[in-house]
Amino acid sequence: MKTKIFTLLCLAFIFFCNNLSSNQAPADNKIPARAATTIYSSSELYNIAIGWANAYMAANPGQKINVIRLTDPGIEATISKNDNICFVSGEFPQAGNAGPGFRLDVGREIIVPVINPENPYMKEINQQGISAESLAVSLGKPGKMRWGDLLHNNQQSPVKYYILNDGLTVSKVEGFTKANLSAGMAVKCRSGQELVAAVQKDPLAIGFCRLTDIIRPGSSEFYENICLMPIDKNSNGKLDYMEKIYGNFSDFTRGVWIGKYPNALTGQICCVGGSKPADEAEVAFLQWVLSSGQDLLPEKGYCNLVSNERLSQMDKLAGTGITIQPDREPFSTARIILLILLGVVVLSFTLELAFRRRRNKKAVADGLMPGHSKVFDENKLEIPAGLYYDRTHTWAFLEADGMVKTGIDDFLQHVTGPITSLGMKIPGSRISKGDQLCILIQNGKHLVIYAPVSGIIREHNTALSADSSMINTSPYSGGWIYRIEPTNWLREVVFLSMANKYRIWLNAEFTRLKDFLATAIKKDMPQFAPLVLQDGGALKDEVLSDLGPEIWEEFQTRFIDTSR
């Protein structure tokens, strides 16, 4: 079968090369002229929509984007038309229910309470958090607002509230606290800078503003003497482990995404329409919005989507976990014939995979594959000799031509369970050791995996787009991810391990995994404990497969990220 496929591919390539020159369109017609693309926007999002359009046209000369501002009554009629797309707030009624239509999240609104880290009650605040009910009680006592009402003690120190005087912040805070802030309970500030300055000067103050107001421009660091005030979301009088997301910008935004922060203080920016965009120019623009366009959000007061979230939204546009930039050349006769031949190859390959799966299932049923039992321990691991292994649970193999083939290890695929798709970089991308290598996706849940070596990606495994489960069934052979041209191999290889040393290290990883599961699951979600450990302390195989995105995020930050 492999010989036939290889022969067919060679014939297709020869035929394509011989006919390309005679059928190719002139260079001047390579990118056909396009009519302007029209994008609609609600009034409150017009500034960011026009900013996106202008930046996209500057980056893509020859492309034209028109943005039309709509009033609320006009939005519903626009969305109902299948060929229109519109930027609206996620709270707009049609954003969540456009019939069989289309919704793409492209940004987020986050309102935060902030305090001065020199607050004398910082220890109690970090232990208890502040609940919405406590804020409501405090705000309900104009002129007599005390920290004792927030901390449930006898502290008589006064608390002074500041709030950014814009419609979004006021409405979100009122919705969260159920208080009417128009009664003079809080000092209204004209800008985020004014509010930040006020809180920096007053250790007993609390401010409400947009998250972007407290971030230094061009960074993810908070301004000096400003920090987030932890919220006791479940109002149980303490800040539980799952609520501890306020230490830094990255942990906080991840926590917001997976629901650890009150929904009343957040909102989505959406692109909606009557149906999924089919026009190539519209799709290209929205893909840009989800990538380079995210950089424009902070200056408009909105927050970027986290990387895994952007990938899931990209999937809605492309229908695949792998993002490859398409060529923009016109189809020729040779190209059409090549596609037909490739279709035959894909069909043959699919049939062979189906046969292999059927054979493997029979082997499992007959007890011939003990490595696929439901219990996962050190004895089930496959660690081939001859490969170099990294603590990021990846491997590297130096091939005869000097290229380095990379993939994930058997430990990680056992932990995640079936991978349904992959997010991969395009050939030509440069990566450094420790940079994002790829994203493993399982039904919308994601893990970011990091590179074991530095170099230039020369090839990705296209077979994974047809069958991503190969990364589970053969992580060291058919499930490889990239071939990389290394740029610092001799220096970086000393930090990698051979099989024997790696096996010893993995024994410690089992202990670390059990500790993670014990704290992340058994403590806060005891209903999932039976899924985790078998009798005698053995791990359940594919343990993350049955768990939700919040545990995957915890595994990312506390297990994967700490291994770099």
50: pLDDT strictly greater than 70: yes
364: pLDDT strictly greater than 60: no
Residue 273: the pLDDT is 85
Alpha-carbon distance of 432 to 450, in angstroms, equals: 9
The residue with greater pLDDT, 534 or 114, is 114
H or E element, residue 82: none
Which tokens go with 219?
């960074």
C-alpha angle 295/300/301, rounded to 5°?
100
Averaged pLDDT for residues 15-20: 45
359: pLDDT strictly greater than 90: no
Of 126-135, 211-220, 252-261, 491-500, the range with the lowest mean pLDDT is 252-261
- Please report, for residues 251, 313, 392, 557, the alpha-carbon distance to residue 554 in angstroms, rounded to integers and kept in the order given: 10, 21, 16, 5
Averaged pLDDT for residues 62-86: 77
Residue 562's Cβ-count burial label (10 Å; 0-12, 13-18, 19+) is exposed
Residue 20: the pLDDT is 43
Alpha-carbon distance of 250 to 244, in angstroms, equals: 12
Of 73-77, 257-261, 434-438, the range with the lowest mean pLDDT is 73-77
Residue 343: the pLDDT is 63
Over the stretch 497-515, which tens digit does the pLDDT of each residue have? Answer: 999 999 999 988 998 898 8
**Please, what sign has the CA dihedral across residues 92, 97, 100, 106?**
positive
Residue 240: the pLDDT is 82
Averaged pLDDT for residues 378-393: 92
DSSP annotation string for 344-387? HHHHHHHHHHHHHHHHHHHHHHTT--GGGSSEE-GGG----TT-
- Strands 160-164, 187-189: pairing is parallel
The answer to whether 387 touches 395, Cβ cutoff 8 Å, is yes
Over the stretch 156-207, which tens digit does the pLDDT of each residue have? Answer: 999 999 999 998 999 999 999 988 887 678 999 999 999 999 999 999 999 9
12: pLDDT strictly greater than 60: no
Q: Which residues of 104-125 are buried (b: 16+ CB within 10 A; e: fewer)?
A: bbbbbbbbbbbbbeebebeebb
CA 354 to chain centre: 32
Residue 367: the pLDDT is 38
Residue 483: the pLDDT is 96
The residue with greater pLDDT, 266 or 82, is 266
Q: Which residues of 396-421 are buried (b: 16+ CB within 10 A; e: fewer)?
A: bbbeeeebbbbbbbbbbbbbbbebeb
CA 444 to chain centre: 10
Residue 215: the pLDDT is 95
Mean pLDDT across the chain:
81
**Closest to 56 (Cα-Cα) out of 286, 247, 250:** 286
pLDDT band at 339 (very low <50, low <70, confident <90, very high): low
Contacts (Cβ under 8 Å, ≥6 apart) of 215? 221, 222, 223, 249, 298
Over the stretch 394-417, which tens digit does the pLDDT of each residue have? Answer: 999 999 899 999 999 999 999 999
CA 426 to chain centre: 18
Residue 325: the pLDDT is 38
Residue 79: the pLDDT is 64
Averaged pLDDT for residues 532-551: 74
Alpha-carbon distance of 254 to 306, in angstroms, equals: 7
Which tokens go with 400?
């005869």
Over the stretch 92-109, which tens digit does the pLDDT of each residue have? Answer: 655 554 444 788 999 999
CATH class of the structural domain 375-564: mainly beta
Under DSSP, is residue 410 helix (H, G, I), strand (E, B) or coil? helix
275: pLDDT strictly greater than 90: no
Residue 250: the pLDDT is 85
User: Over 120-182, what HEC string results?
Assistant: CCHHHHHHHCECHHHHHHHHCCCCCCEHHHHHCCCCCCECEEEEECCHHHHHHHHHHHCCCHH
Residue 265: the pLDDT is 96
373: pLDDT strictly greater than 50: no
Under DSSP, is residue 430 helix (H, G, I), strand (E, B) or coil? strand
pTM to 2 decimal places: 0.58
Alpha-carbon distance of 394 to 459, in angstroms, equals: 17
CATH T-level fold of 110-266: D-Maltodextrin-Binding Protein; domain 2 (3.40.190)
Residue 351: the pLDDT is 62
Averaged pLDDT for residues 447-452: 95
Residue 521: the pLDDT is 64
Which tokens go with 524?
């806060």
pLDDT band at 26 (very low <50, low <70, confident <90, very high): very low
Residue corresponding to tokens 């919220």: 231
The domain segmentation of the chain, as residue ranges, is: 2-28+329-365, 110-266, 375-564
Residue 354: the pLDDT is 56
